[in-house]
Structure 1
Amino acid sequence: MFSVIFLFFCIGASARDHLKFDTTIICNVEENDTYNLTIGWYEVDFFGADNMIDPVHYTPNTGNFSFTLSGIQQGDEAFSEGYKPRAVIHHNCFDNEEKHRLTLTVDRICEMEHDCHYRIINNITNKKGDFNIKPANFTYDDYSPFPDFTSDIH
């Protein structure tokens, strides 16, 4: 009986939920035309961080760079309010071109058994460390395009 209860606490719900991130990254360093950007999305919970979207590498032009990444989560631990997304970014959008790590934890939880669509806009110029951010926009169960978003990747 204890094993069954423990398994329930570890596994929790088993819904298959989709998360979509329409993201605009801003890099305004004047010395370079391009920069390196690697971004992955994780789900943060009591047991640590679960990989939601494998890291992807881009070499965009400086200025605004918009792209979409989508992932799936299949349940969370028992009694969880939902998924708490975190972007882990490695980039060299610095005046000195050094590469640094930046984490952006989104304060809007995606409730389980819903598809969540996030609009993320963040200026990473000379930015490193850990930050909590609010999404610029958010919808449940609706992947209609956000009016201010056009992907630079076609």
Structure 2
Amino acid sequence: MKPLKILFVCIGNTCRSPMAESVMKHWLEEYDLNWKVDSAGLRTWNVGRKPNERCIKVLEENGLTTDHIGRQISTMDFYNYDYILAMDEHNLHELQTLAKDPSQERCAKIELLGKYIDRPEDQIIRDPYFCNSMGGFRCAFLQITESCQNFIAAHMYTD
């Protein structure tokens, strides 16, 4: 099996997508899988910045770290990754729109990360950025963790 290349995408690349990148890297290490993982944002707001301090805090609460520096998704990402995983339906729609190029065959499969949660009510990973408490970040962390574990289980022996 060739190593998969996965890109997590949210709106600003400061909360959900860097969290997903860190969580996935942790589980890939646990399973001794050599997949490539990164994250990006749809907007330029956080290019060159570290993730939101609340994202970092939730990762640390769970024994994880991140050295991610924010970046914006690029056209080449649609060619360089096997999977581009969006956090919510707005991210998904925008990614699908960006990927539309009738003259080119894109290799990346664009999906919701939450697709890998069995409960439909939990499949949208809401943006915790505007939450006044840590609750939104902790909820996103749990959804992301379950999604990443299930993604690995679904693709470990199939791709």
Tell me which interval the TM-score lies in, with the shorter structure as reference length.
under 0.3
Q: Which has the higher strand share?
A: 1
Q: Which structure has the highest helix share of the two? A: 2
